[in-house]
Amino acid sequence: MAQEAKDNKLVFYGDEARNHLIDGARELYDAVTTTYGIKGLNVLIEKTYGRPMLTRDGVTVAKEVYFSDRPKNMGAQLLSEASQNTNRIAGDGTTATVALTYNLLKEANQAVAAGMNPMEVRDLITKDSLVLADKIDELATPVAEGQLEQVATISSGDPALGKLIAGAVEYVGRDGGLITEKAHVSGVEREYVEGYYIQKGFTAITDGKKELTNCFVIISAKRISSAIDALELLQKTAEATKTGPNDKLRIAFVGEFEGEAYQTIVANIIQGNIDAIVVSSPSTGDMGTQYLEDIAVYTGGKIIAEGDNIKNFGVEYIGQAKRVVCTQSTTSIFDGTRDEEEYDKRIKELQARVEAEENEVIAEKIRDRLAKLQGKIALFRIGGATDTEREEKEFRVEDAIQSTRAAHSQGVVAGGGITLVELSKLDVSPIFKKALVNTFKKLLNNAGLSADVKLNEVLASEYPMGFNLRQGPELVNVIESGVLDPVLVVKQIVENASSIAGNMVTIGVVITFQNKED
């Protein structure tokens, strides 16, 4: 019996493999770092349909770079991964991540060409990254009054937006909700609304947001994993709510829905039978169940408990909400149809538990539950003359929100690349030293300054002397000047750049598919 034909693959070795990877990394670096810094430029991206997209968001640019040369494309995609990891955890610093990753990779490859063993180079990069992380912690300071606004202004590139965003972060607190939406308004409007905010999203969303209006809410602490249970829930919900055959069920599933049950719900969404989202529990174990009970109180429903039988599911389990907005990472539930008596009782119970709890870790969790149940959310409505303007502005606002949140929770260091230069003064390898200063020089080049001259000025000065590129080329104390970076962002830049560059330098063989003629 003849073996089934398979797609042909190509194998590249040694220097040839590394050259393909570095070519792809360099081209992605050139595209992404065009946006780097306050004087960075926009990138216009053609889409498969509709109008082109205008953005200065590094991770968005990185995701759009693709090459038909497959090994070259693999190099670009690895660099893009570093940027996406920074975006996922810190929400900002994605362009700097690409810049540092490429510069590390470039220096590492030169070290290999000079005779160093690639595995030793990777170990050296990893060791250096730990030293840098400790130094970042040492340089960090808690945010002082007015500094949140400075962080938001630097990230958004707009003092007016900085003021709006900083005020919102201070109002909702560390765990409160901040969401954005495009609207037909002239600029950016901020509104505070009450809602339950969950830092979990619907993983079936590949991009953007999904919104449900006037929907049912089904909450399960019991692990529901079979397709039969999922279909029975859908059928019993339709019966209990008297939803007709021509009416589409709109449901927010919150809690333990997984495996075939999750797949069944998603399949029904794709087929157009229902309009729904599936969101994991905000936490695990007993604490996860308590969060789910809070959501049930907020929406006027009842959780499906561990010992409950799905066959007994009825209308008493079904909560309701006027609006649910979901992304891949967050969910906000607005205007749950709660029983006010039950709601007030739960609020008082949590307040009493906070006062009585001696374990600070547990007390903090209870405070978090209380904050979510009281539900203060800042909603940003983003407008502009055109869809392109609205979209570009939304990218900036979302980045600034994440950056300001990070500063609020973990503190700040000097911005404008000055912390990177300070790190280069440590006793680390020449590979990391050169990568750090070259990343800073790219920032200066984008601002139209003489990179070597200005770098020497900073190296000869004490931290945190540097440049406020918005104001001019003179040395200033950048912290006093309001040029700040969140600690979390800088740490993620170093960590993700080190991880990707360290692994890329050890690649000795690249195996890829051969492009077909059609």
Count the alpha carbons within 13 Å of 143 in the hemisphere toward its beta carbon. 28
Would you state the structure tokens that stand for residue 321, as one six-digit string? Answer: 């909400």
How far apart, in whole angstroms, are the C-alpha atoms of residue 352 and residue 417? 46
pLDDT tens, per residue, the chain with 518 residues: 556 667 789 999 999 999 999 999 999 999 999 999 989 999 999 988 888 989 989 999 999 999 999 999 999 999 999 999 998 888 789 999 999 999 999 999 999 999 999 999 999 999 999 999 999 999 999 999 889 999 999 888 889 999 999 999 888 876 567 778 787 888 899 988 778 988 889 988 877 789 999 999 999 999 999 999 999 999 999 999 888 777 889 999 999 999 999 999 999 999 999 999 999 998 888 888 999 999 999 999 999 999 899 999 999 999 999 999 998 888 999 999 999 999 999 999 998 998 888 776 787 788 778 878 888 778 888 988 888 888 888 888 888 888 898 898 889 999 999 999 999 999 999 999 999 999 999 999 999 999 999 999 999 999 999 999 888 889 999 999 999 999 999 999 999 999 999 999 999 999 999 877 65
How far apart, in whole angstroms, are the C-alpha atoms of residue 343 and residue 375? 12
Query: What confidence score (pLDDT) does residue 192 get?
Result: 84
Q: Is 414 helix (H, G, I), strand (E, B) or coil?
A: strand
**Bridge partners of residue 65, in order along the sequence:** none
Query: What confidence score (pLDDT) does residue 244 get?
Result: 78
The contacts of residue 355 (CB under 8 Å, 6+ apart) are: none
Residues carrying CATH 3.30.260.10, the chain: 147-187+383-410
Would you state the structure tokens that stand for residue 69, as one six-digit string? Answer: 């040369």
Q: What is the dihedral of CA 201, 204, 207, 210, to 10 degrees?
A: -60
Measure CA 145 to chain center.
Answer: 26
Query: What confidence score (pLDDT) does residue 360 get?
Result: 66
Class for the domain spanning 197-380:
alpha beta
Query: What confidence score (pLDDT) does residue 348 get?
Result: 92
Query: What confidence score (pLDDT) does residue 165 get?
Result: 93
**Beta-carbon neighbour count of residue 437 at 10 Å?**
22
**Beta-carbon neighbour count of residue 211 at 10 Å?**
14
How far apart, in whole angstroms, are the C-alpha atoms of residue 451 and residue 464? 18
Count the alpha carbons within 13 Å of 282 in the hemisphere toward its beta carbon. 23
Residues carrying CATH 1.10.560.10, the chain: 10-141+413-513
Would you state the structure tokens that stand for residue 279, as one six-digit string? Answer: 């969101």
How far apart, in whole angstroms, are the C-alpha atoms of residue 374 and residue 173? 12
Task: Write phi, then psi, for 11 (nearest 5 degrees).
Answer: -125, 125
Query: What confidence score (pLDDT) does residue 354 get?
Result: 82
Query: What confidence score (pLDDT) does residue 61 get?
Result: 95
The contacts of residue 469 (CB under 8 Å, 6+ apart) are: 37, 38, 39, 416, 443, 447, 449
Q: What are the angstrom distances between the C-alpha of 518 and each of 512, 514, 515?
A: 17, 12, 8
In eight-state DSSP terms, residue 516 is P
What is the bridge-based pairing of β-strands 249-257 and 210-224? parallel
**Bridge partners of residue 334, in order along the sequence:** 195, 323
Measure CA 93 to chain center.
Answer: 11
Measure CA 375 to chain center.
Answer: 22
Task: Determine whether domain 10-141+413-513 maps to CATH 1.10.560.10.
Answer: yes
The CATH superfamily label for domain 147-187+383-410 reads: TCP-1-like chaperonin intermediate domain (3.30.260.10)
The whole-model pTM stands at: 0.73
**Bridge partners of residue 310, in order along the sequence:** none
To the nearest 5 percent, what fractions of the chain are helix, strand and coil?
Answer: 50, 20, 30
Scored b (16 or more CB within 10 A) or e, 163-183 reads: bbbbbbbeebeeebbbbbeee
Count the alpha carbons within 13 Å of 57 in the hemisphere toward its beta carbon. 25
Task: Write phi, then psi, for 253 (nearest 5 degrees).
Answer: -90, 125
How far apart, in whole angstroms, are the C-alpha atoms of residue 498 and residue 399? 23
Helix (H) or strand (E) holding 154: helix 147-156
